[in-house]
């Protein structure tokens, strides 16, 4: 059974870097999927942050203006998110998810975690 | 910048039928956007309902169906049940490794 389990601090100071890690089990992280981060700010909708492949290929939401970086560590079966220079607008529920390339959709999601940016 | 549009809210009676749509501020939605639909109930993780316009995710009831209607993607729920009260999001593949969610529709079952 495919499972995604995210971890990381739930509170980040403004201007610092938000970091999250997602551990993958039940499937090889080196399979032909993209691994993604998606967030949902309070009272708003879902926002795709970025997606990364074990080959090193990565795509990012243009609206995040170069603040985001994704990495993948195949030996630890995990992938990570770093979002720099955070502001209150980055407060959100953060989800990790699996993208099926042929279907361009997310079929497995990890449990969301609230990350709050404090001033 | 093109925005993905959805109705902010919709109300439907139990047993009724509702069609939620997913459009673009510029241009038409087609199967080449690989429209997918997600259901999110408060406190729950999003759940994929439909992918590639009309394919069902495993375990999704047949009362959910996807299509292209005119220049938009559509999610139709037939025989709405109380448990269908949720937020619904569409997502489109915009090319060049860019996926965009719509703003979501809050469905109320009265």
Task: Say if residue B27 is exposed, middle or buried (CB neighbours under 10 Å; 0-12, 13-18, 19+).
Answer: exposed
Q: Is A106–B46 a contact, with Cβ atoms under 8 angstroms apart? A: yes
Picking from B34, B57, B87, the nearest residue to A107 by CB comes out as B57
Place of tokens 């009309």: B54
- pLDDT band of residue A84 (cuts 50, 70, 90) is very high
Q: Is the pLDDT of residue B18 over 80?
A: yes
Q: In sequence order, which ranges of B23-88 are alpha helices (DSSP H)?
A: none
pLDDT digits (tens, 9 = 90+) for B48-68: 999 999 999 999 999 999 999
- How close A114 comes to chain B (CA, Å)? 11
**Cβ proximity of A40 and A46 under 8 Å:** yes
Compute CA B58 distance to the chain's CA centroid, rounded to the nearest angstrom.
16
Distance separating alpha carbons of residues B57 and B75, to the nearest angstrom: 13
Can you give the pLDDT at residue A31?
93
pLDDT digits (tens, 9 = 90+) for B89-101: 999 999 888 999 9
Picking from A95, A105, A112, the nearest residue to B91 by CB comes out as A105
B residues 2-31 closer than 8 Å to A (CB): none
Render A38-103 in DSSP notation, one character per residue.
Answer: EEE-TTS--EEEEEEETTS-EEE-GGGTT-EEEEEEGGGTEEEEEE-S--GGG-EEEEEEEEETTT
């Amino acid at each position: 059974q495919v499972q995604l389990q995210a971890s990381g601090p739930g509170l980040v100071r403004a201007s610092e870097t938000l970091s999250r890690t997602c551990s993958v089990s039940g499937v090889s992280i080196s399979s032909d999927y993209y691994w993604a981060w998606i967030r949902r700010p309070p009272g708003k909708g879902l926002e795709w942050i970025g997606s990364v492949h074990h080959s090193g290929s990565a795509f990012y939401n243009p609206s995040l203006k170069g603040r985001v970086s994704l990495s993948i560590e195949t030996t630890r079966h995990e992938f990570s998110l770093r979002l720099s220079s955070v502001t209150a607008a980055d407060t959100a529920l953060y989800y990790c998810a699996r993208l099926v390339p042929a279907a361009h959709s997310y079929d497995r999601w990890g449990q969301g975690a609230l990350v709050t940016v404090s001033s | 910048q093109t925005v993905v549009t959805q109705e902010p809210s919709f109300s439907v009676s139990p047993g009724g039928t509702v069609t939620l749509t997913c459009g673009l501020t510029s241009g038409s939605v087609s199967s080449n956007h690989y429209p997918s639909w997600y259901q999110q109930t408060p406190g729950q993780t999003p759940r994929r309902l439909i992918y590639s316009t009309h394919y069902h995710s495993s375990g999704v009831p047949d009362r959910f169906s996807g299509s292209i209607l005119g220049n938009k993607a559509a999610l139709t729920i037939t025989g709405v049940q109380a448990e269908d009260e949720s937020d619904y999001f569409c997502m489109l593949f915009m090319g060049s490794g860019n996926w965009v969610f719509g703003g979501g529709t809050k469905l109320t079952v009265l």
